[in-house]
A and B are shown apart, each in its own frame.
Chain A
């Protein structure tokens, strides 16, 4: 028992000596990162909430007419194709408040889906017999200046869905 006590005292003396040695070392410099991490996380949360991604946006490609080539380059035997004119008018502010009309002796569509059906049935291709219009036949969307853009674009979409490739907009009436 006495041996044990003596051993413990020796240890304590030795331990105290080590602590004293450590206390003589230069103080360690530590950077407190807590505040910075707080701010960084706040910034991260702000940008996560505030950023809006436009994932649902898509486009229609529309080639605009180029400058007219010189008269000499034009084939004199090429016949001018009469463009098909589709008139679109807004009659209200709702998406369904519109009127659509095809210029010519054709059955008149009541909706843009009817217009799509008409254009699909009258297209010259292998699937349909008795078509009138080539896929690159010029189609002109005609609208007044106050027609809503969504209605004008719905007319464009009907022709694009029917796989026509030469669709243009006329100047406002």
Chain B
């Protein structure tokens, strides 16, 4: 009988610590990313123009206005961050006031505008107008208002 065998059967054990570490990191990543995507992106069909002259969005500080699509080209309001503003006069006043606050804090803020391809132009134009009015209210800085119009690039 060998001396090694006399110590009993050897036990093979996998070290699970690195796997658990990596798995937890992946979960944290997906939790954070999915929250960011939810806040910024409302589910909608963006316009998909032929041969677009669009560009990739920059990493500059930005806010996203989602024109929330309703039936037959109408809208269910405007979503800025986590807050939804109605499409009536009071809602637009609230949206403009919030944008003015954001411009006061950061005059070079980019505003991304997302609207469904079927949405009627009057609702999109109202959001663009709100951005222009908000920039005009800022007295402390010289603001150059800029709207980034979101489209879907054909793959």
Contacts and interface: CB of A to CB of B under 8 A. Distances in A.
Interface of A: 11, 15, 33, 36-37, 40-41, 43-44, 47-48, 50-54, 56-67, 93, 95, 112-113, 143-150, 152-154, 156-157, 160-161, 169, 171-172
Contact of B148 (A61, A95, A112, A161): A61
Q: Is the interface of B mostly helix, strand, loop or mixed?
A: mixed
B26 A59 contact: no
Contact of B49 (A63, A64, A153): A153
B55 A59 contact: yes
B37 A44 contact: no
B96 interface: no
Nearest to B147: A62
Q: Is the interface of A mostly helix, strand, loop or mixed?
A: mixed
A64 B154 CA distance: 27
A130 to B, nearest CB: 24
Interface bracket on B: 35 or more
Contacts of A63: 144-146
B120 A54 contact: no
A56 B44 CA distance: 13
